[in-house]
Amino acid sequence: MLTFGDFKSALGGLDLDNRPAIVHVSLKSFGAVQGGAEMVVQALLSSHSGLLVPTFTYKTMVTPEVGPPNNGLTYGSYRDLNRMAEPFYPDMPADPLMGVLPETIRHFPGAKRTAHPILSFVGISLEVALHSQTILNPFAPIGVLADMDGWVLLLGVDYTVNTSIHYAERLAGRPQFVRWALTRDRVVECRGFPGCSDGFEIIRPELEPYARRVALGDSFIEAIPLKGLFQVVETRLKENPLALLCQREDCERCNAMRDLAVGVG
């Protein structure tokens, strides 16, 4: 069974100098963990000056019958989901797809959450980063974290959940989508919505020179510096605007990205 000491020494082995980090965790991947998600958050807090975690809430999303073209969705096909949508409220739990860590950290002393109705973040000791988020620039906190020489920490998860790659895509000029979210009094238009992340593993070899990795239990912890990540993704997308897209034939967002790249619509 893994203990606080095991996590603490694995994180120490990455030698990240207490820098702030954006964190993605699969607790399950580590097997038995003494103290569960709370212990993992304690270990992270004892190794990093600040923590940032996505607490996205997809169930607020609604889709109109018509809207902008090349938007990576089929208008009119979301009526059932629209009926189940719930208005965002500040205490809305993060989507269960994101694992247990976002909800655990959200309830920690000192944790603060942004108010984006789909793409909110929770942070501890990262007020400036949290305040930078706007409805037009939802991933701005990741940019501030990069300015602070922050890192991405992947605990037992791969690059398909590495949200920071979306920020790098935007920096590289990749088109963004529009989505809509219910709030208590209106529907909010959310620009700057990212593409699909299913193809992100392909960038792994290019990040090797930057990445640090330690084994832990049945799993691993990988760290990538945000500035290095941005540089690698931008270079790759400038060489090939279709890089990092997934290969699923029915992926609406990746197909829209391909159409946009060749100037359709």
Site residues (vs Zn ion, CB under 5 A)? 196, 198, 246, 251, 254
Q: Which is nearer to Zn ion, 103 or 198 (CB)?
A: 198
- Cβ pair 26, 217 in contact under 8 A: no
Q: Which amino acid is at 87?
A: P
Cα(103)–Cα(155) distance, rounded to whole angstroms?
A: 16
Q: Which is nearer to Zn ion, 182 or 244 (CB)?
A: 244
Asked whether the CA dihedral 36, 42, 46, 50 is positive or negative, the reply is positive
Q: Which is nearer to Zn ion, 106 or 253 (CB)?
A: 253
**82: buried, middle or exposed (CB in 10 Å: 19+, 13-18, 0-12)?**
middle
- The CB-of-62 to Zn ion minimum distance in angstroms stands at 22
Q: Which amino acid is at 86?
A: E
- The CB-of-235 to Zn ion minimum distance in angstroms stands at 21
Cα(236)–Cα(225) distance, rounded to whole angstroms?
A: 17
- The CB-of-198 to Zn ion minimum distance in angstroms stands at 5
CA distances from 156 to 19, 215, 220, 221 (A): 20, 10, 5, 6
- Cβ pair 140, 134 in contact under 8 A: yes
- The CB-of-257 to Zn ion minimum distance in angstroms stands at 8
Q: Which is nearer to Zn ion, 226 or 251 (CB)?
A: 251
Q: Which is nearer to Zn ion, 202 or 214 (CB)?
A: 202
Q: Which is nearer to Zn ion, 140 or 251 (CB)?
A: 251
- The CB-of-256 to Zn ion minimum distance in angstroms stands at 10
Strands 212-216 and 219-225: antiparallel
- The CB-of-164 to Zn ion minimum distance in angstroms stands at 18
